[in-house]
Structures are given as structure tokens and as C-alpha cells.
Chain A
Amino acid sequence: MKKNKFEGLRLKEAFKLTMEKGRIMLRKTTSPVHRVIQIKAQISELAFPITATQKIALNAHSSLKSIFSSLPNIVYTGCAKCGLELETDENRIYKQCFSCLPFTMKKIYYRPALMTIVDGRHDVCIRVESKLIEKILLNISADCLNRVIVPSSEITYGMVVADLFHSLLAVSAEPCVLKIQSLFVSDENSYLLQQDFSLLDFYPDIVKHGADALL
């Protein structure tokens, strides 16, 4: 009996169909298997790891003001070319990205997040890269969070970003369609060694895409 919805999926990934010498062979494979799936699920949490032990977690209980206050901690300054987080020296000057020298431009990025999605009984943790976080936030880049949207108003892009996070994580929020890449690595006995999910794309319910739930 399947313990969770991923059990059956894992067993499928452990086998690969090949054509050898005119015969269909079903071989066990231990190589990583990637699969792209599209699901409809509700986002219950967005966690931004800052250090190995520290993270900022946004969920339905997070107030609008607290999300807005957390924004300086969920962005980082990195190399404009490779995205590597840059540290500062004792004079608070950013160090150079040696692998990209002589390119020395800097850019502010959203920290990669761990998105927890739920579909009723099951929840899954998905890695979300900086670019996709920016897409979820209506393409508002981390560079312009402090910029006012309209000169005669005091509302900044950062306040709107906080509003978007708040609405996305609301308890009553509509499930959204997510395109996820799964990665399963099994050993020769089909024992699951590694299970990883990363978000490839995000489709809000604005323009219905008619995706079917696979989970």
C-alpha cells in the first residue's frame, strides 16, 4: 500500500524502458530521473533561509506589516553576473566576485526560497529560485523595493511586494498552478536516496490554463 502519493511515482522512476537487440527491455536505473509535472496546490509557506540555522518563514499568520519589515532580510546583494552572494569587509565594502572578474557589478536579488504546497493531505517542499520569486511578485525586482511607484505617493514597490506575499499566503487563497521539476535518485534496490523538487513556473488563476492536478 502506498504510504504517500510519491511512492508510486518513485517506483516508476526506478525503471527505464529501452530497446535493445529488437527487444523491449525494462532495466532498473540508478541514474537521477527528472520529471516535469504540473499541479494545482495551495501555497502554505514561503521560507527564506538566511544562514545555515536561520530562516524567515512567511505563512498565513504573517501580518502585512511583519512581511514588509522582513523584506530587507529576504534580499541579498550579489554578483550581477553569477548571483553569488557577496560579503562585506570590515569597512562595509562589498568584496569582489573572483570568478567573474573583471566584472564587478552588483545586484540585489531575492533569496531562494523553500515553498511548501499542500493539496489537502500532503505537503511538499519545493525550491524556488530568485527569478521565479520575482515573477510571482509581478516582476518587481529586488532592486526597486525602496522606490516609490508614483512620485506623489509614498507607496513603494516594497509595500506592494508585501501585499502580494500576504495575499498569496492567505488561508483562503485559491490554489495556483505550478510547474515542478522532480528529481529522484534511487539505489540499485530502488531505495530512494534523494528526492528534490524545484519550481519551474508559476501560473496564477488570472488566465485559466486548465492544468490537471497530478498529485
Chain B
Amino acid sequence: MGLLAYPFLLFLHIVYSLVVFSLSLWCRIRRHTPLPLNASRQRIPKHLAVLFVTDPEIDLITTEQRLMESVECAVKWSLEVGIEQLCLFDNEGILLRYSESIRDLVAPSPLPSKMQISEPAIVYPPTPPMSDYSESRSLSPEGFESSVPIARMSATSPRNELRPGGKHATFGKDDSKTLNINIVSREAGKPFVATMARSIAWSERRKQKVGAGCEDFHLSIAELEKHLEGPSGLSPPDFMIIHPIHPSKYNRFPLELHGFPPWQIRLTEIYCDRLRKQYRSRLMWFLPLEIRAAFLSSSLTEWEFREALDQYAGAEMRFGR
């Protein structure tokens, strides 16, 4: 039956392709224009995450360029809407490596509003060594302090230059909106949880040495949450936009989360525009890759951002009830 089934399976895939093509055309034609950026919405995320998905088909220079454009736009639109916190993620850590450039990119000159950027602090955890423990090694009395590998910066924009609309704006003394920007990579996810676990283990080992037994070691959710989401951690985003740099290829396959910190996405609403440039790469297959990369790569668009906010505003949260 196995070999005989293949022609039927092929036919099934052909029928499925036709159905998907038809439905995508239908969705494109029937698609509603999203509300303007500064329109009044039922709710706006306080903490927005943008997950950038890179692709090896797009060269590094084009990828970096698209990322920088996207970051600049995301910061500008977030300030305009009144989002308080913005988390920028990419799996490979490209944004983290270029955090200084990002600081320069969101500088005042390309944007109409005055923006002040505080000094970014890239914090890497002083990870306990993974080598064998030596009895002769001394431990500091405070133990190990770990913090999420993250670049933090903030941007402010004067309120009077922005149209009203955001419900959750934070206002400083001079009535300016403040946007806290965090840049993270995959290292802030599972690897950091492992780092935190090692820190906890070392801390418990020290208690053993000073006589406090750890036979009854217990770790609560609240305690782990304090480590992962506290002042040196990453707070959970309310909403996440997944933006592929190569949408034409990405939108042919299902959604993934690409190593985003798992602890923080418990209740995060997720959005991804699955209709952008869906078939464009198939029409350009004959072009050299370098030329295709310029056409097929994409930075974050305002349409995506507005549609995402509309989706978030309409989402129903039940919290288990």
C-alpha cells in the first residue's frame, strides 16, 4: 500500500495547494484595512515583543539592513501608540551584537520627535564555570548573581508632538512618553534558565557547606519567576509580532517561536501576517539570489503593526476561568 499510496498523496497535495491558493487570494481581496496607528482601540499592549525571523537565503548585510529598518519603525510606532515596553528578539543575536548601532539608529535626526537614548547596558551573566568543582576554589559569600543577557535602552518622545490615542502611555516630568527597549536573543531563553539553575545549585551547595542542609530543597514558581522576570530578568510580553525577514518563504510553512524565552510567553498573544509576499519567491526563482534577496526581504510594515494591534484589541482573555 505504501508505494501505491504515493500518487494519491501527491494528488492530495495538489488539491491542497489549489485550496490554499484560492483561500489566500480570497483573504487578500476581502482583507479589511486596519485602523490607523493612532486610532482608539479597546486595549493596547503595555509590553510588545517583536520576534524577527532571519533566513539563510537572505545575505547578512541585507538582513541587518532590514532589521535596523524594522527596529527604527517599531520604536517610532510604539512611542506613537503609547506602548511602554518593547522587546526585540532574534534567534541568532544579530540585534544584540548591533545594540550600539541601534542606539545610533533611533537617534533624533531621522525621526520627527526628539528622542533621548540612555546609555545601553549590555548585561551578561557571570556564569558559574561548567568545569569540575574544586574543593580548593573559594566562593564569594554572596554566591553567584545572574542576569538575563539583554541590552537595555530607553527612548522618550515629547507628548505634544504625538496625537492622542494610546491608553497606557507613561508620562515623565516633562510630559514625554517613555519606551523601554530590551534586546534579547535565544540566550535569554532556555540557556538562561539553565544558568539560573546552576546558580541556584551553587547557592544550595554553599548552604550545605555552612551546615544548612538541602535535603528538603524546594523551588517555588514564585521564586523562579523572581529570578527570570525580576529587575535583572525579562518581563513577559503581552503581545508578540512575528516578523520574518523572508516572508515569501516563511509564510509557506507553519508558525514557530524560534527559541523565544519560554517562561515569558505564558499568556502572550501571537500575531503573524501570513499573507505577505506569499508567492513572490516562486515568481522570482530565475533571478540570482543576491537580486532576489533585495526583492524578497522585508522590514516591518505599518500595515502589519496596525493589523497586529487590531488583533490584540479584539482578543478575549479568560485566565483559566
* Co-assembled chains A and B: no
B positions within 8 Å CB-CB of A: none
